[in-house]
Amino acid sequence: MEGRKGAVPGLGPFALTDLAQGMSRFGRLARSVDPARPWAHPRADVLDGQTFRTWVRRTLRTRSGRAYFDIATEAVFAADASDISLLHALCYAVGNGDLETLVAVDHGAQQDRVVGGSVVVAERLAEGLDVRLGDPVASITQDRAGVTVRTRSGREHAADRVVVAIPPTLAGRLVDDPPLPAARDQLTQRLPAGTVVKAFAAYPTPFWREDGLNGQAASDRGPVKVTFDVSPSEAEVGVLLGFVEGGEALRWQRLSEAERRRQVLGCFVRHFGEQAAHPTSYVEKNWSEEEFTRGCYGAHFAPGVWTAFGESLRPPVGRVHWAGSEYAVEWSGYMEGAVRSGRATAREVLDAPRSSGPPHGA
Amino acid sequence: MEGRKGAVPGLGPFALTDLAQGMSRFGRLARSVDPARPWAHPRADVLDGQTFRTWVRRTLRTRSGRAYFDIATEAVFAADASDISLLHALCYAVGNGDLETLVAVDHGAQQDRVVGGSVVVAERLAEGLDVRLGDPVASITQDRAGVTVRTRSGREHAADRVVVAIPPTLAGRLVDDPPLPAARDQLTQRLPAGTVVKAFAAYPTPFWREDGLNGQAASDRGPVKVTFDVSPSEAEVGVLLGFVEGGEALRWQRLSEAERRRQVLGCFVRHFGEQAAHPTSYVEKNWSEEEFTRGCYGAHFAPGVWTAFGESLRPPVGRVHWAGSEYAVEWSGYMEGAVRSGRATAREVLDAPRSSGPPHGA
């Protein structure tokens, strides 16, 4: 399923009709979900009781139509359609516009990049703040008087309230005293991060532009299924980025370094020609290997999780509040969602009574 | 769906035929799965790509037939049929005999209890061993020379090899240095424990026996769907045990203490008569609240997890080996499985080269 140019893949009329009908049905169903409370949907148990894959297989009739949804799922969730519930796919799509917006570059979620890299945002935000790096938090202890954060090196920080702004699965690894309530703890056991590796290849020039190509590709043949042109804006060199995602990433990361590189460059050659075979440098970033990331782009909800545990996602636990992209109602999973969640949580903390409110279990 | 006596619920002929056909189809499909390598099934992606609920809804035609599978799933997995993949249900059933054996008391997995309570097994095993309690492990550091276990209080224990014999989701909360490989870490993000509360009511006598009842009940009406007579063997008092499991446990544990008790006793009265309304004592045990348990009876596999991550479950990581019921091929999720896994891991450690074998990443 590949066309050399354009956003619409080279599909026959039957496949195109199938895809159009499938996207229309998905969109209608998504608009029936309240992204702030997906568990409240009148048919939540049915929508959350099946995988997104089950819905795609039942709804789409053509191989190409199904492949579109599979690629979109991998690209958006860094997970396979097997891994997430239909309700989660719907909730995520409607909270972030729609499925087309999520995968789109022009006027879509993939349109903008930050000059200098995304780290610039964090660096600017940190200016003038007292930021302590290199000493990870080990435990959080709270009582009626306040909360104490203890780091792995044994340093202690006292506060009135704490905002935990790391992914849920990592938040679940902190030691909480008193221990978190059952429902909140069981939720964090069920919010894994997706699986994604970024592979970059640099060339003397963005040679694909000479062929009228923009560097974007989407294919149902892996390991790289989605590519982007991420050359610096001055374009003194050309850089192609390939994403290896979901189950594809699991299989591929077991290969040798040489074989991984061979397969990635093979994908680039398929899309952009023989010149892609000989980069001046080649770099991989496996986010699942990073101790303080352990996966991307965000947490995903397997079947049953939203309906059974969703209500425990956002409420603070005593003096501990949660923030991060996973907690956003709109643009969850994106930097935009992280900002929105940060603002909502800041408001929650400011509105909280200054030194009252006993924690759970106290 | 209840009959007052006997193992076969009072179903009409159509429902009984539906149930018999469903169980037969499930059994046949289960026998095609190798419990040691479920991911190797020729149709693994299809079996792992759907929830067990999807299969039950598609295969069973009657409300009662579906209810049987729903109750059995809750009772066996302490999770809903939405939460686990069809492949996991099949793998678990075939590794532990079959679905009927799992839920059965006579000649089944529920037949025996340990006089004095299960803790006796641990106490006997601990006799003569140097067991340190009350100081939980915080981190595990390994290199070419050996491995060091550090506790929360700062004590250090050096060893040649370490066996981590806690549930996977809790193992994922330890700090590993070097950090665990990506696939192993992402697996532990995806192995949540089930949700179960045990509710006990004690009476002056096991009065239900006078009515010719054995204290066992299974019902599709909650919150208690399964009960057992757990009176001490001398029967100087009568004790009924009710399990509240899966999503039912989530909803129920949000209620007040008085309302929870009222609902549980209501279930006991429904099965065993008005005498059940007035116990001499009533106790609940919510395993999800326990910091070092965080759920029962074992970990379960959501769709996609066995096929993508299953191969990372059992292999040791350098000097760190895994043991526990979740790692057993047969009787995973039961004490029997824990014993089998313990023996297999002891063999693995004994067979490992004494002081060689660099850890991962070293």
pLDDT digits (tens, 9 = 90+) for B114-157: 888 889 988 998 999 999 999 999 999 999 999 999 999 999 99
- Residue B130 in tokens: 């140097």
pLDDT at A126: 92
Q: Is residue A112 part of a domain?
A: no
What pLDDT does A155 receive? 96
Q: Pick from B74, B103, B132: which residue ends a domain? A: B103
SS3 state at A321: strand
> Which residue from B minimizes the CA distance to A181?
B289
Which residues from A are below 8 Å from B289, CB to CB?
179, 181-182
Chain B residue with the nearest C-alpha to that of A299: B189
* Rounded percentage of chain A residues whose pLDDT exceeds 90: 78
pLDDT(A167) > 50: yes
The phi and psi torsions of B351 (rounded to 5 degrees) equal: -80, -15
Is the domain of B138 the same as that of B218? no
* Rounded Cα gap, residues A243 and A75, in angstroms: 8
* A189, A295, A307: residue with CB nearest B193: A189
- Which residues from A are below 8 Å from B172, CB to CB? 173
What is the predicted pLDDT for the residue at A6? 56
- In the sheet that holds B281-286, the strands lie side by side as B217-218, B226-229, B238-245, B196-203, B281-286
**Are residues B312 and B175 located together in one domain of the fold?**
yes
The tokens of A43 are what? 């048919």
Last residue of a domain, one of A103, A130, A154: A103
Indicate if B83 and B43 belong to the same structural domain: yes
Q: How confident is the model at residue B355 (pLDDT cuts 50, 70, 90)?
A: low
Query: Considering the domain boundaries, does residue B361 fall inside one?
Result: no
Same domain, B78 and B212: no
Does residue A183 share a domain with residue A306?
yes
Lowest mean pLDDT among A58-72, A109-123, A304-318, B333-347: A109-123
B181 in a structural domain: yes
CB contact at 8 A, A179 and B289 = yes
Closest CA to A337 of A167, A107, A87: A167
Indicate whether B17 pLDDT > 60: yes
pLDDT (tens digit, 9 = 90+) per residue, B305-346? 999 999 999 999 999 999 999 999 999 999 999 999 999 999
Q: Cβ–Cβ contacts within 10 Å for residue A197, how many?
A: 26
User: pLDDT class for B219, splitting at 50, 70, 90?
Assistant: confident
- State whether residue A136 is helix, strand or coil: coil
**A295-to-A242, A284, B361 alpha-carbon distances in Å:** 16, 14, 18
Contact criterion met (CB < 8 Å) for B83 and A303: yes
Q: Which residue out of B55, B82, B188 would a mutagenesis test of the A interface target, given it has the greatest number of A Cβ atoms within 10 Å?
A: B82
Neighbours of B142 (CB within 10 A): 24
> Annotated binding residue at A326?
yes
- Is the separation of the CB atoms in A255 and A298 below 8 Å? no
Domain residue limits at A213: 196-289
Whether B175 and B200 map to the same domain: the answer is no
Helices and strands (H, E) in chain A, number of each type? 13, 11
Is residue A3, in this structure, part of any structural domain at all? no
Is-contact A314 A38, C-beta < 8 A? no
CA distances from B39 to A40, B230, B311 (A): 35, 38, 8
Taking chain B, what is the end-to-end CA distance rounded to the nearest angstrom?
A: 59
Distances A185 to A176, A361, B1, B256 between C-alpha atoms, Å? 10, 14, 34, 20
Q: Looking at A270-274, B12-16, B176-180, which range is the least confident one?
A: B12-16
What digits encode the pLDDT tens for the residues A188-217?
999 999 999 999 999 999 999 999 999 999
Rg of chain A (C-alpha set): 22
Closest Cα in chain B, distance from residue A298 (Å): 13
pLDDT tens-digit series, residues B185-198:
999 999 999 999 99
B137 is in an annotated binding site: yes
Whether the per-residue pLDDT at A343 is higher than 80: the answer is yes
Residues A306 and A179 in one domain: yes
CA distance B178 to chain A (A): 9
A358 part of a folded domain: no
Q: Chain A residue closest to B299 (CA)?
A: A189
* Closest among A268, A216, A266 to A8, alpha carbons compared: A216
Clarify whether residues A22 and A96 are in a common domain: yes
* Residue A66 counted as domain residue: yes
Q: Looking at residue A23, which CATH number applies to its domain?
A: 1.10.405.10
The domain that holds A324 is classified in CATH as 3.50.50.60
- Tokens standing for A265? 């460059």
Eight-class DSSP state of A179:
P
Q: Which of A269, A289, A309 is the last residue of a domain?
A: A289
Round to whole Å and give the CA distance between A245 and A259. 17
Record the tokens describing residue B291, joined without a space: 């910091």
What is the pLDDT, as a whole number, of residue B362? 39
Please answer yes or no on whether B304 and A83 come within 8 Å at the CB atom. yes
Q: Which pLDDT value is given to residue B110?
A: 78
Minimum mean pLDDT range among A193-197, B9-13, B297-301? B9-13
Indicate the number of domains in chain A: 3
Whether B173 and B206 map to the same domain: the answer is: no
Determine, yes or no, domain membership for A357: no
Which range (A11-15, A61-65, B82-86) has the least confidence?
A: A11-15
Mutation to test the B interface, candidates A43, A45, A51, most B Cβ within 10 Å:
A51
